Structure 1
Amino acid sequence: MRTITALLLSTVTLFAVVAANNAAADEKSSAIKVEIVGSNGKYQLLRGGKPYAVKGAGIEFGELEAFAANGGNSFRTWNTDTEEISGRELLDKAHKLDLTVSLNLFVMAERWGFDYNDEAKVAAQFERVKQEVLKYKDHPALLTWIIGNELNYNYKNPKVYDAVNDIAKMIKQVDPNHPTTTTLAGYSPEIIELLQTRAPALDFISIQLYGDLINLPRYIRRDNFTMPYFITEWGAIGHWEVGKTSWGAPIEQNSSQKAANYLKSYRQVIKPFPEQALGSYVFLWGQKQERTPTWYGMFTDTGEATETIDVMHYIWNNQWPNNRTPKLLKMELAGKNAYGNIKLKANKNYPAKVVVKDPDGDNISYLWQVRPESQSQQEGGDKEEIPPLLTGLIDKDEQAQITLKAPKKSGAYRLFVYAYDGQGHAAHANIPFYVR
């Protein structure tokens, strides 16, 4: 999975990059050396010669100030530059907040049509990536280099990892201060063996798992896997891993269920293995549309923090925040929950309700929305368009109990509810339904 804005933003003109590098060459390197020491399943990440415990999240457009205030100390990206901010601006901002960055070097995935048998294209990509490395290698906020994101997702040509290895070898030559990795969609002994064979220059492996994360310790024991690793994406149970309605709509956990899953995942999979799992980046410190606008983001589309932020605050600080997010206990439509395969008659009225409890006794306000079910078939986190809001269907949409008028047009929809505490926090849930 990944977030991405413009695939070619990191491809700047060679002239401009070389000019920037020449200017930077006149400056003394401010890099802080990062290294992995140890062997045979017992490792330690050092930064500036001292042990460094990564308290991380995946961030592309999320607020770094809020991240730092909640106890985070490192974040990963999916590009070096975006439409919103350049890599240097991002690193500078991180450094001011005493944060480090695992910077993703954008490498084309085969599933986007890139041919790793085309030597000219592979060479051009190598040169582009090299210029990015030269541009940012001396920044003190840099922690590690991520060489491509989930390149194994739907891949067929193993030469992709020859290209990764060539980039890793190049980085070792020009930047001895920062370890290299590449991220994997899922875990399998076959892909681990391929990486060890084709890309031995990598310093560690990065694994990205969602619902299947709970099985990672078992996989590692089974395969006698002893390399150091990061978990560079983890969080909500994936939309491909959950139950579905009879018409195929994936059933999303509510915000409180997700928070409980985050805490369970950390306690059972990440915390017990500090000598091998050297860092983790929870997904996603921000908001994105992926099947729904609430599935993976730890914030709402209007910026409120969800209960998963409370959990990460607790994990990073060993104490809960002073003001807690509302807990969502139950949501129903027509007397059924999200697993009820709810089918409604067009233009008819149906009751819906939500039960929310605020730990601090804050007053709760509500917002209900109806959207058509997403028809997106995008994979791997590629950009999706959010389905439009449908208006005029909800009576008294600011209360805990409402009346929904089913849309006139037959098809699949979702009813969303948000519960706000007025303190910058929100709970949320949704129920898929079908209009006959």
Structure 2
Amino acid sequence: MLFWGIGNELNLEYLNPNVWDAVEQIARMIHEVDPNHPTSTVLAGLNQQEVDYIKARCPSVDILSINTYAGLAAIPQQVRTMGWAGPYVVAEWGPTGHWESPVTPWKASVEENSSQKAAVYQSRYEASVARDTTQCLGTYVFLWGQKQERTPTWYGIFTEDGKESEVVDVMQYLWSGHWPANRAPHLTDFRLNNQHAPDGVYLQAGKKYPAIVTVTDPDQDPLTYRWEMLPESTDLKTGGDRESRPTAIRGLIPAKAAAQTTLTAPTKPGAYRLYIYAYDGHDNVGVANIPFFVREK
């Protein structure tokens, strides 16, 4: 065990600041029972009000833990600007969060593809906490695994079948200084009806549309592809609570389709996503999705 965590994201949608008095009581108790391990509490993001509360009300909290996503690069400076002089840990960090991303006209969040995620994991980490050797004790990347949260691919750096995305390559490099012997496929473009995910893709029910993905492999491995269509998730939770995966819609994309295929829009109007998985045969994968909305004929 490294340290005690007292509450996770207690500031997420909370109303009663007296929660910090309870955190202090628990931290004092922990120091009495286990003087060999420090205490911490985890914030959702970082803002002045919570830092001030913890400094004033929680003197027995030794380490400030922060969950952040798109804001990772700013954390070292924010910690100092807000007056936290002690050590801190980034307890969660990862891709741009679904609440931070562009949205379509029907309010579907636009997810970065696996290569875009790899780029921001590396750039944000190198620009911030990797350089802060004074106060930052370390970080926990989210998520070393797979979970359904808005989509089956948003936060997990592995897919449901255990394949490794380009983010895993980046994390190996950031942690060890060495790239893996075999690298994951790299996505450079993905279009549905010649439109990209942020464009707000509308389709007519029952009509056929072209879909094309451009993927390269750093090792020149031959690629195979898996296409999947899902309804937009409606089981939406907050704070990372468990969500159910939508049931795939079958029969509207040709079997064994390659990098270019034809999609038949569902007959039922509503919001959907088209997913593409590009496999290199070495347990690596490139992943992307495009949200689209089906209108009635």
- Residue 158 in 1 paired to residue 158 in 2? no
Map of 2:100 onto structure 1:
241
- Residue 304 in 1 paired to residue 189 in 2? no
Provide the alpha-carbon RMSD of the alignment. Answer: 1.1
Superposition TM-score, scaled by structure 1 size: 0.66
Q: Please list the CA deviations of residues 8-54 of structure 1 after superposition, one character each: whole Å capped at 9, or x if unmatched.
A: xxxxxxxxxxxxxxxxxxxxxxxxxxxxxxxxxxxxxxxxxxxxxxx
- Residue 232 in 1 paired to residue 91 in 2? yes
Map of 1:251 onto structure 2:
110
Task: Report the AA paired with residue 159 of structure 1.
Answer: N
Correspondent of 2:42 among 171, 183, 206: 183
Contact 1:208 1:233 in 2 (8 A): yes
Alignment of 1:37-116 (within 5 A): none
Map of 1:339 onto structure 2:
198
Correspondent of 2:178 among 312, 319, 323: 319
Q: Which has more helix, going by share of residues?
A: 1
- Residue 380 in 1 paired to residue 239 in 2? yes
Map of 1:407 onto structure 2:
266
Q: Please list the CA deviations of residues 167-187 of structure 1 after superposition, one character each: whole Å capped at 9, or x if unmatched.
A: 211111111111110110010
SS at match of 1:230: strand
* Alignment partners' CA distance in 2, 1:316 and 1:271: 10
Map of 1:146 onto structure 2:
5
Task: Report the AA paired with residue 75 of structure 2.
Answer: L
* Alignment partners' CA distance in 2, 1:272 and 1:316: 13
Shift of residue 390, structure 1, vs aligned partner: 0.4
Shift of residue 225, structure 1, vs aligned partner: 2.9
Contact 1:396 1:403 in 2 (8 A): no
Q: Please list the CA deviations of residues 70-126 of structure 1 after superposition, one character each: whole Å capped at 9, or x if unmatched.
A: xxxxxxxxxxxxxxxxxxxxxxxxxxxxxxxxxxxxxxxxxxxxxxxxxxxxxxxxx
* Alignment partners' CA distance in 2, 1:259 and 1:171: 38
Name the % identity: 50
Contact 2:73 2:125 in 1 (8 A): no
Contact 1:396 1:402 in 2 (8 A): no
* Alignment partners' CA distance in 2, 1:272 and 1:227: 16
* Alignment partners' CA distance in 2, 1:266 and 1:153: 24
* Alignment partners' CA distance in 2, 1:246 and 1:389: 23
Task: Report the AA paired with residue 305 of structure 1.
Answer: E
Contact 2:76 2:129 in 1 (8 A): no
Shift of residue 195, structure 1, vs aligned partner: 1.0
Task: Tell which structure's C-alpha radius of gyration is larger.
Answer: 1
Task: Report the AA paired with residue 422 of structure 1.
Answer: G
Map of 1:424 onto structure 2:
283
Map of 1:365 onto structure 2:
224
Shift of residue 156, structure 1, vs aligned partner: 1.1
- Residue 167 in 1 paired to residue 26 in 2? yes
Shift of residue 397, structure 1, vs aligned partner: 4.0
Superposition TM-score, scaled by structure 2 size: 0.97
Map of 2:248 onto structure 1:
389
Task: Report the AA paired with residue 349 of structure 1.
Answer: K
The number of residue pairs the alignment matches comes to 295
* Alignment partners' CA distance in 2, 1:381 and 1:328: 27
Task: Report the AA paired with residue 264 of structure 1.
Answer: S
Map of 1:329 onto structure 2:
188
Q: Please list the CA deviations of residues 138-189 of structure 1 after superposition, one character each: whole Å capped at 9, or x if unmatched.
A: xxxx111111111111111122222221221111111111111011001001
Structure 1 stretch 422-431 or stretch 394-403: which is displaced more? 394-403
Shift of residue 377, structure 1, vs aligned partner: 3.3
SS at match of 1:332: strand
Contact 2:213 2:259 in 1 (8 A): yes
Map of 2:131 onto structure 1:
272
SS at match of 1:395: coil
* Alignment partners' CA distance in 2, 1:397 and 1:198: 60
